[in-house]
Amino acid sequence: MPVHPATASAIQSAARRLQRGGLVAFPTETVYGLGADASQADAVARLYAMKARPRFNPLLIHCASARAARALAQWDARLERLARAFWPGPLSLVAPCRADAPIARLALAGLSTIGLRVPAHGTARALLRAFGGALAAPSANPSGRLSPTRPAHLPTRWRRNLPVLAPLRAAAQPLGLESTVLGCAQARTLLLRPGALARAEIEAVLGEKLTSPPRRQGTKRALLSPGQMARHYAPRARLRLNARRARADEALLAFGPAPAHRGLTRNLSRNGDLAEAAANLFDHLHQLDARARKIAVMPIPPHGLGEAINDRLRRAARSTV
């Protein structure tokens, strides 16, 4: 099935497909999502199967509005403050799920909490409104592979079999990193996944420091914060991080002024802008990964969006898919 520009009629037909239990790929302001009706267990099961995603890893539940999201969780003052400051936008909030929420428990991987996201992208919002319910929507990549920021990044097989919506205006450049995920089901606020909204902005609104979950991997951690799985966001190529220059047999993923390199080079941001680097990260990795076996990655400063960029790079480097 071809890529459809998100006209009103393409949105309507995608919404009907979702209502019938089908899957649809659509743009958000972060990365492309693969959506399924969150209330239909069999649609959610098809989504897990398509991504080959481990069933213990819960899906983010996308809602058209903060009001719709509120109805699914046990809401409190902290959630309200965060929602008011950042929704719609690239922040996902994990809260206790209401017992009567019409959400397939498979989408929550059996947890008592629900991860809520209200995207800001016009196409995502139009689709959610036309659909009329909540969508389970992980990033539109096979589990463990790089996230897509454009339709061309989707696996060819998916592009043939699924409707893929494309933004009407090409100008809407995705932020390029998945949403920041906060755990709000306990007294402290946990940074479960660094992402497109930087830690400092959240801390300024909360008036408290975010708590990082412990780094150690384990089954208990996997349940608390499944997205922290080390092997994620994996290219096929081998990554060498914090490289000052590339060797002859490596491609170079540069940041800031780049050293001379004869091989394939992409620069995340020539003038060292972290937002530009975030927007380019997955696209540049996709491009280098298609043509190189080894990639040297220059150091990225750890502050602001650099926290999430370094998080994705570390996971990509650790993987051996």
The binding site for ligand TXA (CB under 6 A) comprises 28, 30-31, 33, 57-60, 92, 94, 108, 111, 113-115, 117, 119, 137-139, 178-179, 181, 192-193, 225-227
Site size toward Mg ion, by CB under 5 A:
1
Q: Among candidates 28, 320, 286, 32, which has minimal Cα distance to 158?
A: 32
Piece in contact with Mg ion (CB under 5 A), picked from 85-93, 121-129, 138-146, 195-203: 138-146
284/270 Cα distance (integer angstroms): 13
Q: Cβ of residue 140: shortest distance to Mg ion, in angstroms? A: 9
Nearer to ligand TXA, 44 or 94 (CB): 94
Please identify the residue of the shown chain whose CB is closest to the bound ligand TXA. Answer: 227
Q: Which one of Mg ion, ligand TXA, none interacts with residue 94, CB within 5 to 8 A by kind? A: ligand TXA
> Which does residue 57 touch among ligand TXA, Mg ion, none (CB within 5 to 8 A, set by kind)?
ligand TXA
Is the CB of 60 or the CB of 198 nearer to ligand TXA? 60
Please give the Cα distance from 132 to 37 (Å, whole number).
10
Integer Cα distance of 286 and 282 in angstroms: 6
Least distance to ligand TXA, CB of residue 120, Å = 10
Phi, psi of 14 (to 5 degrees): -65, -40
Nearest-approach distance from CB 249 to ligand TXA, in angstroms: 33
Please, which residue, 45 or 168, has the CB nearer to Mg ion? 45
34 vs 64, beta carbon nearer Mg ion: 34
Residue type, 261: H
Please, what sign has the CA dihedral across residues 246, 249, 250, 256? positive
CA distances from 253 to 80, 145, 164, 291 (A): 40, 18, 29, 13
- Whichever of 137 and 246 has its CB closer to ligand TXA, that residue is 137
Task: From the list ligand TXA, Mg ion, none, pick the one residue 111 interacts with, judged by a Cβ distance below 5 to 8 Å according to partner type.
Answer: ligand TXA
| Cα Rg of the chain, angstroms | 19
Contacted by 40, from Mg ion, ligand TXA, none: CB < 5 to 8 Å by type: none
288 binds, among Mg ion, ligand TXA, none (CB under 5 to 8 A by kind): none
Residue 58 partner contact from Mg ion, ligand TXA, none using kind-dependent CB cut-offs of 5 to 8 Å: ligand TXA
Nearer to ligand TXA, 178 or 289 (CB): 178
Binding test (CB under 5 A) with Mg ion, winner from 28, 57, 92, 139: 139
Taking the complex as a whole, the smallest distance from the CB of residue 207 to ligand TXA amounts, in Å, to 23
Strands (E), 63-105: 91-96
The three-point CA angle 229-47-151 to 5° equals: 85
3-state secondary structure of 234: strand
Query: Per the structure block, which two tokens stand in for 185?
Result: 């089901």
CB of 145 to Mg ion, least distance (A): 9
The distance of closest approach from Cβ of residue 109 to Mg ion in the complex, given in angstroms and rounded to an integer, is 14
Distances (CA, A) of 178 to 145, 203, 308: 13, 19, 9
Note every long-range contact of 240-244, with CB atoms under 8 Å and residues 24 or more positions apart, other chains counting: 240/294, 240/295, 240/296, 240/297, 240/317, 241/297, 241/299, 241/313, 241/314, 241/317, 242/297, 242/298, 242/299, 243/296, 243/297, 243/298, 243/299, 244/298, 244/299
Binding partner of 227, given ligand TXA, Mg ion, none, CB within 5-8 angstroms per partner class: ligand TXA
From the CB of 166, what's the least distance to Mg ion, in Å?
A: 20
Residues in touch with Mg ion (CB under 5 A)? 139
